[in-house]
């Protein structure tokens, strides 16, 4: 596998995914009929009110990557001019939506609507517009900023990527509620039970993530701040001072994120979540004290932590998805759990679209992103991308089987697909960052000029060895 993770590939995969998922359960029950079509855009004529806002937002979000990767991956669109290219991508989204809606006229379970056409066009249009803004205003600046950071503090960049992933998982879908009644209900629920309703077992995964955040923050951020603050050094810092910095910073972040969830749709904040995050930040600080005796030095090469603290990194990368799969560690009778399994749980993405809502996208993001560190670490240790793919896929499917009797968990074969893709994504992240920063761990071949499709990278694992 030499070339993958291109914008064109993503565009094709997104298109196939949309077609596949929006035609489930593929029930061609009758000849095409327009009897059940909702013709008025954005208006629910059956209920006499505006169409469900969450449903419209979901449709827009579904087509965002279609427009984004289409505009990014096809230079011919951009050569026609930004405005025209964005409009064309919106129309391509409309065409795909029209195809799907036409097939739904033969379905007994799906109802085509003009609202879907409108929101799907809007999603593709907005996605293409975001890509246009990225290319014209952000791409060159972002590349320069990343290249500069990679040449001086590559470990800090990995921390920032991980930080963004954790924050995104905490605040997704990033939609503040406009419903005063819902906000009032959240406040009332918080005041009635400020500690929160979650069992302790359901908090362990988030706690482990904050432990890792505190560890990376303490290891990487003080040296970066040493450029501006005399309190820190750019080369090495005392382990106690660094650990305390990571604990305080990430412990504070846990409380900030929990407070922010008060106004985000689909979230119910609780003090216990913040407390667990802060307590596990202490665990991360203690881990730093144990592993970095004396002085803390930031990583100077990509994959350095994976090679120098292999057991710690792989232990985290395996434990995190394991905790997520088995939480809240409450188990049902196995026979009772097996009785609930249906054939649809063996059909990829069927369970996903059986009950899709805004929180579904968040769950998918979490299910996938939790395997990214494992794919990254395995590639940094010299394993081929296919090894990371199968390692993540097998681990995910084993955990899916183990979670069958876990209360509140549902077996879904799709989890393995997410995990395998993240195994590849970890290799892609390492390689693309390495090429951008000209890291010596990359292939000795001279770097190639990036093709017009900026998402394309050559994937060659670093030589296996320990330490750098």
**Residue 183 banded pLDDT, cuts 50, 70, 90:** low
Q: Mean pLDDT check: name the lowest of 105-114, 308-317, 384-393, 435-444.
A: 435-444
Phi-psi region of 363 (alpha: psi -120 to 50; beta: other; left: phi over 0): alpha
Q: How far is CA 178 from CA 182, 263, 309, in A?
A: 8, 9, 46
pLDDT digits (tens, 9 = 90+) for 60-75: 988 999 999 999 999 9
Residues whose CB is less than 8 angstroms from the CB of residue 122 and which lie 6 or more positions away in sequence, other chains included? 60, 63, 90
Per-residue b/e over 117-146, b at no fewer than 16 CB within 10 Å?
A: bbbbbbbbbbbbbbbbeeeeeeeeeeeeeb
Of 139, 6, 5, 11, nearest to 71 (Cα)?
11
pLDDT digits (tens, 9 = 90+) for 392-428: 999 999 999 999 999 888 888 889 999 999 999 999 8
Task: Report yes or no: 284 and 312 within 8 Å, Cβ to Cβ.
Answer: no
Task: Report yes or no: 249 and 170 within 8 Å, Cβ to Cβ.
Answer: no
Please compute the mean of the pLDDT values over residues 93-101 and round it to a whole number.
94
Of 351, 355, 334, nearest to 402 (Cα)?
334
Task: Report yes or no: 86 and 78 within 8 Å, Cβ to Cβ.
Answer: no
Q: Using the structure block, give the residue that is written with the tokens 């030095």.
A: 297
Task: Report yes or no: 459 and 1 within 8 Å, Cβ to Cβ.
Answer: yes
pLDDT digits (tens, 9 = 90+) for 149-168: 898 889 999 999 999 989 98
CA dihedral 46, 47, 53, 58 (to 10 degrees): -40
Q: What is the pTM of this model?
A: 0.78
């Amino acid at each position: 596998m030499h070339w993958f993770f291109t914008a064109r590939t993503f565009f094709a995969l997104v298109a196939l995914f949309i077609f596949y998922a929006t035609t489930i359960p593929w029930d061609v029950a009758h000849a095409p009929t327009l009897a059940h079509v909702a013709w008025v855009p954005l208006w629910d004529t059956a209920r006499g009110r505006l169409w469900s806002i969450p449903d419209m937002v979901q449709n827009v979000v579904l087509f965002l990557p279609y427009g984004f990767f289409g505009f990014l991956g096809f230079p011919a669109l951009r050569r026609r001019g930004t405005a025209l290219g964005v409009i064309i991508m919106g129309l391509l989204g409309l065409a795909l939506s029209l195809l799907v809606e036409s097939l739904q006229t033969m379905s007994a379970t799906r109802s085509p609507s003009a609202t879907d056409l409108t929101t799907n066009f809007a999603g593709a249009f907005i996605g293409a517009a975001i890509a246009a803004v990225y290319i014209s205003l952000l791409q060159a600046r972002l590349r320069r900023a990343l290249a500069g950071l990679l040449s001086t503090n590559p470990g800090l960049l990995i921390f920032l990527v991980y930080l963004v992933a954790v924050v995104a998982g905490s605040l997704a879908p990033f939609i503040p509620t406009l419903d005063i009644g819902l906000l009032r209900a959240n406040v009332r629920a918080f005041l009635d039970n400020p500690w929160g309703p979650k069992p302790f077992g359901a908090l362990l995964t988030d706690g482990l993530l904050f432990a890792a955040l505190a560890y990376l923050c303490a290891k990487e951020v003080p040296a970066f701040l040493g450029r501006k603050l005399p309190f820190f050094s750019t080369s090495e810092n005392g382990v106690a001072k660094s650990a305390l910095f990571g604990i305080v910073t990430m412990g504070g972040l846990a409380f900030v994120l929990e407070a922010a969830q008060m106004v985000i749709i689909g979230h119910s904040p609780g003090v216990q979540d913040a407390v667990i995050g802060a307590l596990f930040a202490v665990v991360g600080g203690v881990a730093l004290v144990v592993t970095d005796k004396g002085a803390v030095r930031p990583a100077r090469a990509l994959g350095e932590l994976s090679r120098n603290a292999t057991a710690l990194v792989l232990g985290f990368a395996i434990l995190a998805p394991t905790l997520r799969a088995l939480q809240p560690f409450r188990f049902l009778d196995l026979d009772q759990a097996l009785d609930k399994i249906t054939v649809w749980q063996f059909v990829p993405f069927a369970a996903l679209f059986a009950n899709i809502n805004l929180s579904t996208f968040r769950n998918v993001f979490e299910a996938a992103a939790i395997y990214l560190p494992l794919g990254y670490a395995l590639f940094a240790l010299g394993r081929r991308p296919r090894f990371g793919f199968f390692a993540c896929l097998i681990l995910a499917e084993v955990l899916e089987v183990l979670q069958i009797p876990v209360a509140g968990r549902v077996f879904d074969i799709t989890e393995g697909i997410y995990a395998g893709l993240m195994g590849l994504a970890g290799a892609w992240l390492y390689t693309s960052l390495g090429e951008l920063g000209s890291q010596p761990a990359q292939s000795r071949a001279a770097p190639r000029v990036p093709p017009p499709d900026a998402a394309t990278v050559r994937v060659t694992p670093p030589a296996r060895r320990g330490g750098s």
